[in-house]
């Protein structure tokens, strides 16, 4: 393979990697917002809300992301809602991400001692005030490392969106392979790009875990 061909492969995959990163960021931010809402409902103490959020988390954690992508992309048009591959990928990844983040953060909230709840309640704080001023600031310290670590799973999860036609890194790799007939080189470059994106996140998560002394 000529250097020119390799350069074209690397350049076009770099362009596709932008969409992988952008989709990951949007899904992570939107999933974090929805996940925070699910967390608040989960720890609210209201039985029907707790059961509802447990069902939500179990549904999206207990089914493959690929199936969720299919249901969104092919299911919504059946009820009259047309979605593009971009919108379907964003929605499915947001729901998937929110379920996992809500569960990660629930564990962090439950790690806070009951004395914190009792002390804040004795000051006359309601549930929202307790969460905002007392519980969440302490839970956030515990949650940072696993949250950053989970972002790696979100990035890798974007590869499945190629199945519904979203042109990200993996889909671009398939298209380039069909044009160049060099699968080893192309997918080797794809793997390298994923490593370049994910490895710094993994390192940062371990750094935060050590810095914040979460395990101690």
pLDDT in tens, 135-175: 999 998 899 889 999 999 999 999 999 999 999 999 999 99
pLDDT in tens, 176-205: 999 999 999 999 999 999 999 999 999 988
Place of tokens 């993996």: 170
Residue 45 has a pLDDT of 87
CA 170 to chain centre: 17
Residue ranges of domains in the chain, CATH in brackets: 3-211 (1.10.3720.10)
Distance (Å) of CA 169 to CA 18, 80, 85, 210: 8, 30, 14, 32
Phi, psi of 61 (to 5 degrees): -85, -25
Instruction: Give the max Cα distance, the chain.
Output: 73
Q: Is the pTM for the entire model greater than 0.85?
A: yes
Mapping DSSP to helix (H, G, I), strand (E, B) and coil, where does residue 209 land?
Answer: helix
């Amino acid at each position: 393979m000529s250097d020119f061909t390799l350069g074209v492969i690397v350049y076009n995959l770099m362009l596709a990697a932008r969409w992988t990163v952008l989709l990951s960021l949007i899904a992570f931010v939107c999933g974090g917002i929805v996940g925070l809402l699910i967390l608040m409902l989960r720890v609210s103490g209201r039985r029907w809300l707790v059961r509802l959020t447990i069902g939500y988390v179990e549904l999206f954690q207990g089914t493959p992301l690929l199936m969720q992508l299919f249901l969104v992309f092919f299911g919504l048009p059946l009820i009259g809602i047309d979605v593009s591959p971009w919108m379907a990928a964003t929605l499915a990844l947001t729901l998937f991400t929110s379920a996992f983040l809500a569960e990660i953060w629930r564990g962090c909230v439950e790690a806070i001692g009951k004395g914190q709840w009792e002390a804040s309640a004795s000051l006359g704080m309601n549930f929202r005030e307790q969460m905002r001023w007392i519980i969440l600031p302490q839970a956030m310290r515990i949650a940072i490392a696993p949250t950053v670590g989970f972002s790696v799973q979100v990035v890798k999860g974007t590869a499945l969106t190629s199945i519904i036609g979203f042109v990200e890194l993996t889909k671009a790799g398939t298209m380039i392979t069909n044009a160049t007939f060099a699968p080893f080189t192309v997918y080797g470059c794809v793997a390298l790009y994923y490593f370049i994106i994910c490895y710094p996140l993994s390192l940062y998560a371990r750094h935060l875990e050590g810095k914040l002394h979460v395990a101690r």
